[in-house]
């Protein structure tokens, strides 16, 4: 796996994690927090969790 492939895969995974986190945050927390704040928080936590998972997964793929 080249550096370019790693960077592209990481960017794509991070974008998908942010989008999924924002959507699920809005679905779950709209009533309590409002749609905008729930989306922001979901995107933040999606980025944190998805970023860590992406790094771990891509390192495992690169090693294998």
64 residues of the chain, pLDDT tens digit each? 788 998 999 999 999 999 999 999 999 998 888 999 999 999 999 999 998 999 999 999 989 8
Number of domains in the chain: 1
Q: What is the pLDDT of residue 62?
A: 86
Residue-range definition of the domain harbouring residue 44: 3-63
Distance between CA atoms of residues 31 and 33, nearest Å: 6
Q: How many Cβ atoms are within 10 Å of 59's Cβ, its own excluded? A: 12
């Amino acid at each position: 796996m080249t550096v370019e492939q790693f960077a592209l895969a990481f960017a794509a995974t991070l974008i998908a994690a942010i989008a999924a986190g924002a959507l699920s945050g809005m679905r779950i927390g709209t009533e309590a927090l409002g749609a905008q704040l729930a989306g922001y928080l979901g995107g933040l936590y999606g980025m944190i969790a998805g970023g860590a998972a992406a790094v771990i997964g891509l390192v495992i793929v690169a090693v294998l």
